[in-house]
Amino acid sequence: MVYVHGGYWQELNKDLSAYPVKPLYSAGIVSVIVGYDLAPQVSVEEIVEEVRAAVGWACRLAKGRGSGCVVLSGWSAGAHLVTQVLSTWPTAKAEETALDLVKGVVTFSGVFDLRPLVGTYVNDPLRLTESSAWTLSPLRVVGDLKKTWPFLRLLVTAGQHDSPEFKRQSLQYSQVCGVSGLQAEYVEVEADHFNIVEDLSKEDFSLTQRVLAFFRRCRQEEEAEEA
């Protein structure tokens, strides 16, 4: 599992974001917690490319370890980053890597349309325009996601006590993915924007169990393809 932290592209780090490691380890799943440089020192475009490089590295690591599949995941801005990376992956480069191991994506209270941020304080260090915000929005390129990853499975989650915008965007993204032909499921859990990932450290958290079940489905599909 490759996990990318949130923080509106300008806060937090990988050392504070290792919530799911212990339960996943207990289930035999290796976790890669991704860090990246923060705005305003770098742009959102540069952060996307950093995460793209990290995903490629993690897939090569998984291939070398003999792993059966890779699931990408991210919380809030991290959900934006993993879905934007996959949606804009150059086809030629994809063929040269171990990206065939990517079977699923799990998002936690994600941001999939950056345009609502343009007029807010969040955009001060990001310096997005309406045009660049839409260019960087995973919602815009769901069709490309389907073309490059036709068998990708998605688990799109939000907290019942999340803000209406996070829930709206997550539901909309899952619906658009489903319309495009991808296997996408939307789930709301008893959580707010923060403990939806903080509680992933607990094996008995309902979302932890859903993530583990999601892994099993992705792995079973991989085994079926190999057979």
Q: What residues act catalytically?
A: 76, 162, 193
The two three-digit tokens of residue 165, written as one number: 């915008």
The two three-digit tokens of residue 40, written as one number: 């305003």
Angstrom distance (rounded) from CA 30 to CA 24: 7
Query: Phi-psi region for residue 12, left (φ > 0), alpha (ψ -120 to 50) or beta?
Result: left
C-beta separation of 170 from 107 below 8 A: yes
Phi, psi of 162 (to 5 degrees): -70, 170
Alpha-carbon distance values, 92 to 100, 142, 159, 187, 191 (Å): 13, 19, 37, 34, 40
Q: Which strand (E) or helix (H) includes residue 65?
A: helix 44-65
